[in-house]
Amino acid sequence: MCGIAGFAGSLADGPDAAERLRRMCDAIRHRGPDDSGYHVAPGVAIGMRRLSIIDVAGGHQPMTNEDGTLHVVFNGEIYNYQALRARLLAGRHRLTTSSDTETLVHLYEDHGAGLARELRGMFGFAIWDDRRRRLLIARDRLGIKPLYYWPTRDGVAFASELRALVTLPEFPRALDPDAVVDYMAVGYVPEPRTIFAGVHKLPPGHLLEWTREGGVRIERYWSPSVAENTRITEQEAIEETRRLLDESVRIHLLSEVPLGAFLSGGIDSSGVVATMARMSDRAVRTFSIGFAEREFDESRHAAEVAGVLGTEHTQLVVRPDAELLFEQVARALDEPFGDPSAVPTFLVSYLARRDVTVALSGDGGDELFGGYTRYFELNGARSLPPLARSVLRNVALRLPHATYGRNRLLSLGRTMRGRYAGTVALPLREAEGGLLREDVAMRAVPFDETLDRWFTNDSARDFMTQLMIVDVQSYLPGDILTKVDRMSMAHSLEARVPLLDHEIAEFALSLPPSLKFRDGVGKWVLRRALGDRVPDEVFRRPKQGFDVPLRDWFRGPLAHRLDALADRSSAVYDFVEPRAVERVVQEHRVGRRDHARTIWRLVMFDQWSRLYSTGEFVRPVTITSDVDALLGRAIADGDLVRSN
């Protein structure tokens, strides 16, 4: 696991290219504290920071091919690299290390840009081809690992995090208003936008080629849109789910450093840990986090599962310093990010890193197997005729914001895609309960129209599956995987997600709806496949998100953050209407409505803007002594528990 960065073209032509590259890599030192490496030559500069996982002794990057004409920097893990390595050696390639990174340059020799299709894993990499004067960068199929790029008139720069790009003096520093609108809607900036105008995320399953003559060319090499398997039986689906899960977990266990797993007590993480336990000759190390507020505490469920599976379990129940955690999480993000579950993810990553360097996670099961309630709530529903939608919408807009049922009327006044958008996005226009200034809202593209680019054109697929495909391309990489990557990398911890092996993804998305949802229950096949592996209680408990007591925090230890929103000099007021902010703050304070998630987006954007304006944004993430003190107090109070 590493952080990578670099540039090609005119950006690399000056005498200070090496120093500029070093500054980029230093900004992401938290991603790779063990080692660094650079290749600087006329027209190109690529570098990396390394967290040593595989071939600890011999995996120094950049790596080259036999004649030194190809150079690669790589972030991630290639789980089928041993099979690829054997194939390359049989094909008379000469490899000098046992690192997965080295396979990339030799695969490039055989397959060119098509090498990405040969890989099974999570990755962001860059290959410089000295003979062709070509830079190739690629991102894994599901977007587990991040990759940003900035095209210039005659060059391109790339990095694992935006903070590395911002170190370049030429970097454009203007915010993208459309990105801010998207952030206010969904709490993250969806691909391919970033918070900065003219700077992009390379979407999952895509690669980028650059030459001076041709500039930037983007190509898609994988899509989650797969045909429905109408002939598979339930038993066949159960058996194949087990086989794929077993295979994926097995290859995800490859490591030369201590390894463990996050355990929440839910279906996905319990299934991953149970599968690990079947393959391990020693107790699996598991980690969970909880809060003193019982309604937000999953740690007791995780402890029950750990006891049944016989894991070596560590759990921490936090009585948090909310302000401290808020600031630490904000510093670990390179874009405004409005999902408050980043806080417990930050804490469980911190907890795990005390004992292990790699942790497996259960993320991805909801998107692939149909776990979100929004899927089956909308599946089978029908959009009302246009006239009826218009009438309901107009009636709703005339009602006061706090009127019971108003939001339901607004939802019925939308198309089916609009109703889905309403389940994942906050309203934008003030008339609908949103916060945007009217001049910003008039230029904004409604999020249901933004979603159109992710919907499959296969009209034969059911609406539920189409929603899952949308989430796999938007919410999964933009929110879930961004959160896990940034919070784990803040602690130099490698997080792996075996449920997001692309072979599992392709299989799961091919299943018909009857095998995803039945009798009011989602993840039907996954539940059946795990039925003899995890405790029955896991399946009986209602779904519980990885959440924090935001409502109470904003009425208590974070109340001063609401006061700060009254400062009209905040960058947030370039986009939102002051009276709308006053309304949601006041309604939340007096308990009329719970606007905690909306307020979190506002204060996170405000904090990110302040960090950016002061230059704190470009510094590598460091964990302050206050966080160590927080954990120390928990240990002293008996809130950190280890069990075997």
**Calpha distance 205→495 (Å, rounded):** 19
Query: Which residues pair with residue 260 across a beta bridge?
Result: 359
User: Which residues are CB-contacts of 19 (< 8 A; sequence separation ≥ 6)?
Assistant: none
Q: Which of 1, 2, 199, 441 is catalytic?
A: 2
Query: Which tokens is 178 given?
Result: 């459309």
First to last CA, the chain: 29
Calpha distance 11→210 (Å, rounded): 13
CA angle in degrees (0–180, nearest 5) for 256-262-263? 135
Q: 100-106 — which CB contacts under 8 Å span 24+ positions? A: 100/54, 100/55, 100/74, 101/59, 101/61, 101/63, 101/72, 101/74, 102/63, 103/78, 104/63, 104/72, 104/74, 104/78, 105/63, 105/64, 105/65, 105/70, 105/71, 105/72, 106/65
Contact assessment for residue 53 and residue 258, using Cβ atoms and an 8 Å cutoff:
no
The single residue listed with the structure tokens 């295979």 is 247
Which H, E and C letters describe 485-520, residue by residue? HHHHHCCCCEEECHHHCHHHHHHHHHCCHHHCCECC
One-letter amino acid identity for 360? L
Q: Which of 47, 7, 52 is nearest to 28 (CA)?
A: 47
Structure tokens at 217: 């060319």
Cα 397 from Cα 410, distance rounded (Å): 8
Q: In the structure encoding, which two tokens stand for residue 534, read together?
A: 């995890």
Q: What is the DSSP letter of 186?
A: H
640-643: strand order across its sheet: 494-496, 358-360, 259-262, 285-291, 312-318, 640-643
Pairing status of strand 70-78 against strand 63-64: antiparallel
Residue type, 43: G
Is 25 tagged catalytic? Answer: no
Instruction: Copy the structure tokens of residue 32.
Output: 């790779």
Element (H, E) at 26: helix 17-26
Give the total residue count for the chain.
644
Helix %, strand %, coil % of the chain (to 5): 45, 15, 35
Residue 167 CA, chain-centre distance (Å), reads 23
Give the three-state DSSP class for 209. Answer: strand
Q: Identify how many contiguous H helices and E strands the chain contains and give both numbers.
A: 28, 18
Q: Give the list of residues 6+ apart from residue 345 with CB closer than 8 angstroms, or none.
A: 483, 484, 487, 488, 546
Q: What is the full DSSP assignment across 401-454?
A: TT-TTHHHHHHHTS-HHHHHHHHHS---BGGGT--B-HHHHHHPPPHHHHGGGG
The residues that are catalytic are 2
